[in-house]
Chain A
Amino acid sequence: MNYEMDWSAVWAQAPQLAKGLWFTLQISFTAYVCAAVLGLVIALLRLSPIRLLSMAAFAYTQFFRAISIYIYIIWIYFGLTMVTGLELTPFAASVISITLLHSAYLSEVYRSAIQSIPYGQKEASYGLGLGKVRTFLDVVLPQVVVLVVPQLVSQFAMIIKDSAVVALIGASDLMAETVRAANLDYRSFEFYTTAAVIYLLIVIVVSRLGGLLERRLKRSST
């Protein structure tokens, strides 16, 4: 081990890395919000009594959960754009890919939470004269939120992790900036270590937050 470390190169590139991190957060957060909304729609479709809709939603979740984000982002950015003639920026392609993938994961989270509410509660609220919508909003949803919020938070950590791949289609996120800097300065060990530590810290903080929320919500709901 004769490798001499030189962290000053990383320090000199810090502004670029920070810019990359900001881009990573922008992509992740945009995709996160989209995935959270789309996931709920898919979950509701999956639970709908209309067989065609629930089958379609089921196919959606099975299909998108089966693919690696890397294959998928390449397929969208290089393949699909060619066929449709759509001009997607790397940002848009990244957000779309991550959204489709993680909405499939999140829809399963929502679905299992909604299904975990005993059916008797629904019958009871119908019996009390509450309509379908009121029952969902006032009885089912508040309980679902308690179950879902911690997992929603953890999912954000997963999205940040998956977002590193967007560097491969030329989005200038944290990983892209790291690769560029590492190639520029021949300091691959220092730069990749820095990137790994940053991702690790974000993931740990976000998942801890999820755990904390889980305990809080459980306490306040019982």
Chain B
Amino acid sequence: MAGNYDFQWSVVLDHWPVLLAGAWIDLWVSIVGFVLACSLGLVFALGRRSGFALISGAAATLTEIARGIPPYVMLLWVHFGLSRFLGLGFTPLQSVVIVLAFTGAGYAAEIFRSGLDSVDSGQFEASRALGMSRFCVYKDVILPQSLRLIVAPLGNVLVGLLKSATLMGVIAVPDMLHLAQGINMNYFAPFEAFTAVLVVFVAMVFTLSLLIVAIERMMEHP
């Protein structure tokens, strides 16, 4: 029972730089995935509004697939299945980024869609009547108004991607959790190593959440 476990917090303290390096990988991979997810998500969202049944159907299906498959399943599918099927041989990092970009795009697409829908369609018609091109209408009229509404939900997508990113250790990318597992393997300190991961991770998520709130405030009162 409790009390028999020999705490060795020194193991964690000694390997602090290693763990933080791993946390850094989690963070930047999620950010890269997030940027790609936003771009792809915007394409999906605009595709759904395109008015061509084929394109909007494809966009809707891809969105649904991206949201419906567990990230872990998709990671193994991309890394071991798809890469062999295509004969491409993705590196582990590439596989992770692909999965984050695609799953994130599914959520981002829905957010963009509701953001775009929230702008009254009369504005679209009015701008078109004034002679603006479709592209200009989106760029100068619709997107600036939607942007304020989608900041917070998009922030949640980034946090979600950061959570999924922790799975990358499964395909041997040395992220924080993977490194902690290595430390545990060498020193047998599972509680200390994984608690450290937990604490760092919670700190990262809280920091991100505070940042999102700050950005949102800034956009409300420019």
Contacts and interface: CB of A to CB of B under 8 A. Distances in A.
Interface of A: 1-3, 62-63, 66-72, 74-75, 78-80, 82-85, 157, 160-165, 167-168, 175, 178-179, 182, 188-193, 195-196, 199-200, 203-204
B190 A79 contact: yes
B170 interface: yes
Given A66-B206, A71-B198, A75-B197, A192 B81 contact: yes
Nearest to B176: A71
A1 B65 contact: no
A82 B5 contact: yes
A196 B2 contact: no
Given A75-B198, A83-B191, 5 more contacts: A66-B201, A70-B177, A74-B181, A74-B194, A190-B81
Interface of B: 1-2, 4-5, 64-65, 67-70, 72-74, 76-77, 80-82, 84-87, 159, 162-164, 166-167, 170, 177, 181, 184, 190-195, 197-198, 201-202, 205-206, 209
Contacts, number: 131
A2 B206 contact: no
A63 B68 contact: no
Contact of B72 (A1, A71, A164): A164
Nearest to B165: A68
A189 B84 contact: yes
Nearest to B191: A79
Contacts of A85: 1-2, 4-5
Contacts of A164: 70, 72-73
B68 to A, nearest CB: 4
Contact of B87 (A1, A162, A168, A188): A1
Given A70-B167, A84-B2, A200 B65 contact: yes
24 contacts: A2-B87, A3-B85, A3-B86, A68-B167, A69-B163, A70-B72, A70-B163, A71-B177, A72-B198, A74-B181, A75-B197, A82-B191, A85-B1, A165-B70, A178-B73, A189-B81, A189-B82, A190-B81, A191-B81, A192-B73, A196-B73, A196-B77, A200-B65, A204-B64
Nearest to B4: A85
A72 B206 CA distance: 16
B5 A1 contact: no
Contacts of B4: 85
